[in-house]
């Protein structure tokens, strides 16, 4: 289902979305720290065009994987012809394509997963990394404003907020479809219909805290979590 959500918005998420959703110049410097033209880098999520371009400028070998066919097709107009684009669901339908990487990057991608998806995600990435390879990812901590809007609307109108699971801090946007329009917040210049289709098909997403991230990568050699900007953190995990 989640690929349908991202097929509905495509690279408009990057082209028309909020500038505040993009990595800052300082964050881009963090992503590329220690990378050379001998490095092999995998970027998960084709909407992270700024990270892809930053890696390309270093002359490094870059691969990008995304489960949205639309994003993969549109991305070719914005990246180097030498960048390898792989259309695959790396969480639910993962198959190794015979490469291993020194670094794997994602930008607020973990926020799109529920706990089970996040667990499969980190397991699959472990198998793709070279010895002593690393993951670098930004993660938004806590709930999104849209989450609060939907929960408040439901409670104020005596509607069961069964789309929100308080104990696990998990929201299911597909269950919130009947009231999505009432809690919809602008996302840059992305049009309303695309936003409704995007949210309505995103399914379950967990809202992470730092302790959740430490638990998620508990079996790795090490994890560093530092502030990024706003309510985002930078997470670096070593195999």
CATH of the domain at 122: 3.40.50.150
Q: Are 188 and 17 in contact (CB under 8 A)?
A: yes
Name the domain count of the chain: 2
Measured distance CA(64)–CA(133) in Å, rounded: 17
Are residue 214 and residue 194 in the same domain, yes or no?
A: no
Q: 63-72, 167-176, 186-195 — which is least confidently predicted?
A: 186-195
Give the 3-state secondary structure percentages of the chain, helix then strand then coil, rounded to 5.
40, 25, 35
**Structure tokens of 201?**
């098909």
Are residue 74 and residue 179 in the same domain, yes or no?
A: no
Of 130, 138, 131, 122, residue with least CA distance to 48: 138
**Structure tokens of 10?**
């495509």
Are residue 130 and residue 188 in the same domain, yes or no?
A: no
**Given CA atoms 43, 48, 49, 50 in this order, what sign does their dihedral have?**
negative
Are residue 189 and residue 101 in the same domain, yes or no?
A: no
Are residue 127 and residue 68 in the same domain, yes or no?
A: yes
Sheet bearing 84-87, strands edge to edge: 84-87, 61-66, 40-44, 101-107, 129-140, 232-238, 222-227
Of 87, 42, 94, 80, residue with least CA distance to 63: 42
Q: What is the DSSP string of 84-128?
A: EEEE--TTTS----S--EEEEEEES-GGG--HHHHHHHHHHHHHH
Are residue 114 and residue 149 in the same domain, yes or no?
A: no
Mean predicted lDDT score pLDDT of the chain: 95
Are residue 186 and residue 100 in the same domain, yes or no?
A: no
Are residue 86 and residue 105 in the same domain, yes or no?
A: yes
Of 83, 89, 82, 40, residue with least CA distance to 64: 83
Are residue 169 and residue 221 in the same domain, yes or no?
A: no
Q: How many CB atoms lie within 10 A of CB 187?
A: 20
Of 109, 24, 16, residue with least CA distance to 64: 109
pLDDT value for 183 = 87
Contacts of residue 14, defined as CB under 8 A and 6 or more positions apart, other chains included, come to: 22, 47, 48, 49, 50
Are residue 64 and residue 133 in the same domain, yes or no?
A: yes
Q: Are 120 and 151 in contact (CB under 8 A)?
A: no
DSSP-assigned letter for residue 23: P
**Domain housing 54:** 2-142+208-238
**Averaged over 178-198, what is the pLDDT?**
92
Q: Tens digit of pLDDT for each residue in 95-141?
A: 877 779 999 999 999 999 999 999 999 999 999 999 999 999 999 99
Q: Tens digit of pLDDT for each residue in 22-31?
A: 999 999 999 9
Are residue 213 and residue 130 in the same domain, yes or no?
A: yes
pLDDT value for 111 = 96
Burial class (CB in 10 A: 0-12, 13-18, 19+), 188: middle
**Averaged over 79-86, what is the pLDDT?**
97
Of 205, 209, 206, 204, residue with least CA distance to 141: 209
Whether pTM > 0.85 for this model: the answer is yes
């Amino acid at each position: 289902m989640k690929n349908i959500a991202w097929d509905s918005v495509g690279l408009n998420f990057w082209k028309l979305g909020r500038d505040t959703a993009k990595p800052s110049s300082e964050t881009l410097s963090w992503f590329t720290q220690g990378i050379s033209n001998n490095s092999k880098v995998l970027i998960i999520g084709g909407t992270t065009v700024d990270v892809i371009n930053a890696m390309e400028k270093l002359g490094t070998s870059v691969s990008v994987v995304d489960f949205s066919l639309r994003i993969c097709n549109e991305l070719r107009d914005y990246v180097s012809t030498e960048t390898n684009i792989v259309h695959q669901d790396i969480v639910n339908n993962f198959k190794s394509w015979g490469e291993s990487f020194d670094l794997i990057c994602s930008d607020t991608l973990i926020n799109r997963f529920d706990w089970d998806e996040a667990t499969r995600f980190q397991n699959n990435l472990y198998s793709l990394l070279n010895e002593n390879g690393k993951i670098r990812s930004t993660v938004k901590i806590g709930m999104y404003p849209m989450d609060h809007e939907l929960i408040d609307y439901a409670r104020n109108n005596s509607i069961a907020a069964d789309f929100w699971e308080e104990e696990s801090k998990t929201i299911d946007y597909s269950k919130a479809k009947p009231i999505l329009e009432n809690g919809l917040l602008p996302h840059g210049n992305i049009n309303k219909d695309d936003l409704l289709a995007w949210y309505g098909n995103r399914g379950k997403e967990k809202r992470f805290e730092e302790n959740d991230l430490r638990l998620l990568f508990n079996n790795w050699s090490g994890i560093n979590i530092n502030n990024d900007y706003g309510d985002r953190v930078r997470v670096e995990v070593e195999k």
